[in-house]
Amino acid sequence: MANPLTSIVIEKYQIPRCKLIPNTSLHGIPFIHYKPAFPKFTDADKVENVLRKNSWTPSWRYTMYTDSHFHSTTHEALVVISGAATILVGGDDNPDAVTITANTGDAMFMPAGVAHRLLKDIGGRGWGAGEGFTMVGAYPNGAEEWDMCYGRSGEQVDDNVRRVGGMEVGDPVFGGALGEGVE
């Protein structure tokens, strides 16, 4: 069960393009950080059930890659189930990138095209992926298979990001409209 609205902070960020990383520039859908979205000791199965109820398909339990990357073919929902970490959102060379601290229970909505990477694992108890920071990763029901993009020359991403940005997607935490906090 997600936290009551009175105890959750929803932060939204528009992050401009930086070099070959589109971020939110092609669709205007913000990166959203829900602090916290779930009680600290909610187990991964319960988190996954909430995501499923809100039309998101849980796909993995793991940490975040340390290389900046993004997905051009789908949006992504991330829920921290163990530990805490410092995360860079927007790309390494982006003066408008955002650095956040994600704690157990926090959720993130990562729109297609938005670069993200782990800066520092602050620790945790681990969930089969080793000790440390662990998340559940999920994608909208019916979404294309996610790709891995790094903002390198030759990656054809802008058309994908525009197309995915034009698709309606529900809020992974509350259901309903994205980022509105309506249960």
pLDDT at 172: 96
Mean pLDDT throughout 48-66?
A: 96
For the stretch 98-151, pLDDT in tens is: 999 999 999 999 999 999 999 999 976 544 445 689 999 999 999 988 999 999
SS3 of the chain: CCCCHHHCEEEEECCCCECCECCCCCCCCCEEEEECCCCCCCCHHHHHHHHHHCCEEEEEEECCCCCCEECCCCCEEEEEEECEEEEEECCCCCCCCEEEEEECCCEEEECCCCCEEEEEEEECCCCCCCCCCEEEEEEECCCCCCCCECCCCCCCCHHHHHHHHCCCCECCCCCCECCCCCC
Question: Minimum mean pLDDT among 38-42, 143-147, 178-182: which range?
Answer: 178-182
Domain ranges of the chain: 5-165
CATH of 5-165, one of 1.10.3210, 2.30.29, 1.10.3470, 2.60.120: 2.60.120
pLDDT at 128: 45
Mean pLDDT throughout 3-16?
A: 83
pLDDT score of 183 more than 50: no
Looking at per-residue pLDDT, the higher value among 130 and 13 belongs to: 13
pLDDT at 3: 55
pLDDT at 71: 98
